[in-house]
């Protein structure tokens, strides 16, 4: 039982933290029965809950009027002839997955030679980029040899057969450290593989190693250092899928796997110039992956072209009883379908003062695709307030770090870092949390109304409410390179005040030519249309093939 006496003065001080005000009489009433409430909270904290323990409540992005899209036949890729394998190894390393798949599948390029090429590049460039936490050289070569043997025996497992990839170090790999980027877990050794490892192994993909993750899925600082942007080695790659985006942009893998709770696929893709696909919530199993926020975490591919992301999503899609948030949904993609008749929306304020010339040029390019492009709007709601849901879920997931002071071992301790965010979250109101969940439903209705008007939405990923809103509603987002800007070195990202920032550029120092991307959002479980639109926009913009030169 609680021995500390709760006084009216204690309650008055707490009111300031909660943003409420009671009368002296109301405070006096509470002092007599506050102890039991505190005792219940303390008793609950005595129960240790592992990271894998799910919430009883489950988020479902589907509204009552939702109808799951029906399967529409076989997946169809462009199938264009990539030509002969280039003599220059760098041309092979940076080739899109569509080309790599064609070369390996036809036998003109062995998985072994491709894997060895990427391993050599990792050895040469990882010291600069710090994008791999663990390189699984022996296992990768064994998997590559097995893939080649299957092909020689007439067995072809699909477009990812023999393709080397990087896996975000949030996903368990049996017998190989999965450290979540965080000091308290840097020696953590899983006993089984995550669901996505099984999926990609069944598809014939070759696991090169574990790409770095910002500690506990935030930013680009991890226990081994800071993952760098290949376009400017003086700045981080953003996060939290920091290593996945950096390695893919640097030509160290054929593709990579990332996760997103709020910007962790799109933000590093923006920084590093990769193409990131955040699928609809529930489409890809998270089983065997570190949980941050059960109602928000999503898994998706990071690649060098739009069609590549479709190939990867096809392999990792599918329901999984081991993930309470999993929703079984068909994935249809036809690279030849085109975009005729599509209606694309944009929020005018997203292309206002905060937008760049590249953002506006991307909108103009979309208008030149021969589709209808219209202005749309969203209801005036406090979208940023939903961030308190993220803070509460993340703080609950890693409560033990806060209560035992193990959070002090994390390298990054700034005001916007996890330790401070977790501590502050202890003062969030449970009543407000329930009300935020009700607000979340209103946001779901708002985006449902928007996508009743248009097939897709285009905009800068950080401008307007869409980064927050679409992550909380579970809508899919495709982020692709749109052009380049000359910017000074950018600082650390930050969480707080109801928003995510990605770091201000240094206006006084040297500038670097760095990528700038654009986002496309689509309807729930309808990634195919935004992928077709993304392919058309990618062709119109013509900037996807440029490679970083690793300036420092």
291 closest CA partner among 259, 326, 245, 243? 259
Strands 255-260, 164-168: pairing is parallel
Q: Which residues are catalytic?
A: 168, 240, 264
- Answer yes or no: are the C-beta atoms of 206 and 147 closer than 8 Å: yes
Distances (CA, A) of 190 to 170, 174, 422, 434, 450: 11, 5, 25, 35, 43
Residue 277 has, within 13 A of its CA and on its CB side, a CA count of 33
What would you report as the CA-atom Rg of the chain, rounded to the nearest whole angstrom? 24
Element (H, E) at 42: helix 34-45
The token duo for 43 is 């008793």
CB atoms within 10 A of CB 308: 27
- The three-class DSSP label of residue 426 is coil
- Of 543, 487, 445, 508, the residue nearest 235 (C-alpha): 487
The two structure tokens encoding residue 111: 């998985």
Which residues in 80-118 are b (16+ Cβ under 10 Å) and which e? Answer: eebeebeeebeebbbbbbbbbbbbbbeeebbbbebbbbb
Helical segments of 413-482, H only: 418-425, 430-453, 466-473
């Amino acid at each position: 039982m609680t021995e500390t006496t709760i006084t009216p003065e204690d309650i008055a001080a707490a009111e300031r933290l909660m943003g409420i005000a009671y009368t002296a009489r109301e405070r006096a009433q509470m002092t007599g029965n506050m102890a039991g409430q505190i005792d219940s909270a303390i008793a609950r904290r005595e129960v240790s809950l592992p990271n894998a323990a799910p919430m009883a409540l489950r988020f479902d992005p589907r509204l009552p009027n939702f109808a799951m899209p029906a399967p529409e036949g076989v997946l169809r890729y462009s199938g264009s002839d990539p030509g002969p394998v280039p003599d220059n190894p760098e041309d092979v390393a940076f080739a899109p997955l569509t080309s790599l798949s064609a070369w390996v599948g036809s036998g003109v390029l062995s998985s072994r030679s491709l894997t060895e090429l990427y391993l050599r590049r990792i050895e040469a460039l990882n010291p600069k980029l710090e994008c791999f936490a663990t390189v699984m050289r022996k296992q990768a070569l064994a998997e590559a040899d097995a893939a080649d043997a299957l092909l020689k025996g007439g067995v072809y497992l699909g477009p990812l057969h023999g393709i080397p990839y990087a896996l975000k170090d949030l996903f368990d790999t049996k017998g190989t450290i999965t450290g979540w980027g965080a000091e308290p877990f840097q020696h953590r050794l899983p006993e089984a593989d995550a669901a996505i490892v099984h999926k990609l192994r069944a598809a014939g993909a070759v696991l090169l190693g574990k790409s770095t993750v910002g500690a506990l899925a935030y930013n680009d600082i991890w226990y081994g250092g800071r993952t760098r942007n290949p376009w400017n080695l003086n700045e981080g790659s953003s996060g939290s899928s920091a290593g996945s985006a950096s390695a893919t942009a640097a030509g160290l893998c054929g593709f990579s796997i990332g996760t997103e709770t709020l910007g962790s696929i799109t933000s590093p893709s923006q920084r590093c110039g990769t193409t990131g696909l955040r699928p609809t919530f529930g489409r890809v199993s998270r089983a065997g992956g570190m949980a941050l926020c059960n109602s928000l975490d999503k898994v998706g591919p990071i690649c060098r072209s739009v069609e590549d992301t479709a190939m990867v999503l096809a392999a990792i899609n599918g329901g999984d009883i081991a993930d309470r948030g999993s929703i079984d949904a068909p994935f249809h993609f036809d690279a030849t379908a085109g975009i005729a008749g599509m209606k694309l929306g944009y929020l005018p304020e997203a292309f206002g003062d905060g937008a760049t010339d590249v953002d506006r040029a991307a909108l103009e390019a979309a208008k030149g695709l021969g589709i209808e492009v219209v202005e749309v709007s969203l209801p005036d709601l406090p979208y940023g307030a939903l961030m308190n849901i993220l803070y509460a879920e993340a703080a609950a997931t890693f409560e033990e770090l806060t209560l035992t002071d193990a959070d002090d071992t994390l390298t990054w301790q700034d005001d916007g870092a996890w330790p401070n965010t977790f501590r502050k979250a202890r003062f969030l109101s449970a009543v407000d949390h329930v009300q935020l969940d009700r607000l979340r439903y209103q946001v779901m209705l708002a985006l449902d109304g928007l996508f009743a008007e248009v097939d897709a939405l285009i905009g800068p990923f950080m401008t307007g409410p869409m980064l927050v809103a679409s992550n909380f509603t579970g809508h899919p987002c495709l982020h692709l390179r749109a052009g380049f800007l000359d910017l000074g070195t950018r600082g650390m990202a930050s969480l707080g005040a109801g928003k995510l920032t990605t770091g201000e550029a240094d206006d006084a120092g040297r500038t670097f030519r760095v990528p700038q991307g654009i986002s496309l959002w689509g309807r729930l479980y309808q990634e195919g249309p935004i992928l077709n639109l993304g392919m058309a926009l990618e062709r119109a913009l013509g900037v996807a093939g440029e490679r970083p030169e690793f300036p420092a």
